[in-house]
């Protein structure tokens, strides 16, 4: 696996969970990382821990991905600090699970705003710089819920399915400029975000998984690490499932 020496990476939702694992992996492989998160204090502690453990520069950036001005400000901050952007990982996400008859307009808008519009906002802001340098790697973190649907998650599944369409359309749009755009679709991963649902369905999820276990945050990070590497330079518009075989297409 090639190294990412001095590549500049932004990881949204990077302060914890899957995002933190991705940021740590990219830094270990040589990248300099912006840990972008709505929780600036947690992002700062995560960035410091990554810098201490890897010896790479890692800084915190505050962002509300659902707000286009905030996403642009985060990208501007990255360029001011590092001079460019090479890698964008659109990982920030949230859930508000419920049956459709109980999902409020606010909970629908919140989930779609962060999970789908957030990727649009950050990609729109970052792609200008990538196009100028004729190089970039964008990886969107979707979900098996976006591939197969999940009862009680019409908002979340819609946002993640939309993210797959967004990935494919953007890949076609920016491919001629040397930018690849791919998605990673994790299965059930134990994180703070999934703790409530896993408490109810963990045993069943494991039974549905041919490899017989849940994914780890590191499993997802390794997939991202591959897609931003030189070895994946001819892969774009694809969805890589990291789910132990739960959903096969």
Question: pLDDT (tens digit, 9 = 90+) per residue, 17-65?
Answer: 999 999 999 999 999 999 999 999 999 999 999 999 999 999 999 999 9
The token pair at 89 is 């990982």
The residues annotated as belonging to the active site are 156
**Rounded Cα gap, residues 87 and 122, in angstroms:** 12
pLDDT of 60-102, one tens digit each?
Answer: 999 999 999 999 999 999 999 999 999 999 999 999 989 999 9
Q: Give percent above pLDDT 70 in the chain.
A: 95
Classify burial at 61, counting beta carbons within 10 Å of its beta carbon; exposed 0-12, middle 13-18, buried 19 or more: buried
Mean pLDDT, all residues of the chain = 93
Question: How open is the CA angle 55-57-62, to the nearest 5 degrees?
Answer: 140
Coil, strand or helix at 61 = strand
Strands of the sheet containing 239-242, edge to edge, are 58-62, 32-37, 8-12, 87-90, 136-141, 179-186, 239-242
């Amino acid at each position: 696996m090639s190294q990412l020496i001095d590549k500049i990476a932004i990881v949204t939702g990077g302060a914890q969970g899957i995002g933190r694992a991705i940021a740590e992996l990219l830094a270990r492989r040589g990248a300099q990382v912006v840990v972008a998160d709505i929780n600036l204090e947690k992002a700062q502690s995560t960035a410091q821990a990554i810098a201490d453990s890897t010896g790479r520069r890692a800084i915190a950036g505050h962002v509300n991905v659902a707000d286009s001005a905030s996403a642009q400000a985060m990208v501007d901050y990255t360029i001011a600090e590092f001079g460019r952007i090479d890698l964008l990982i659109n990982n920030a996400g949230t859930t508000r699970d419920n049956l459709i008859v109980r999902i409020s307009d606010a909970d629908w808008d919140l989930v779609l705003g962060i999970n789908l519009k957030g990727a649009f906002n950050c990609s729109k802001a970052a792609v200008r710089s990538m196009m100028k340098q004729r190089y970039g790697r964008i990886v969107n973190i979707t979900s098996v819920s976006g591939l197969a649907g999940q009862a009680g998650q019409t908002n979340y599944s819609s946002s993640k399915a939309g993210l797959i369409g967004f990935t494919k359309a953007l890949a076609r749009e920016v491919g001629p400029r040397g930018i690849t755009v791919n998605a990673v679709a994790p299965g059930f991963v134990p994180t703070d975000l999934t703790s409530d649902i896993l408490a109810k369905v963990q045993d069943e999820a494991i039974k549905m998984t041919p490899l017989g276990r849940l994914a780890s945050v590191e499993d997802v990070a390794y997939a991202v690490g591959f897609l931003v590497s030189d070895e994946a330079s001819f892969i774009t518009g694809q969805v890589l499932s990291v789910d132990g075989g739960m959903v096969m297409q």
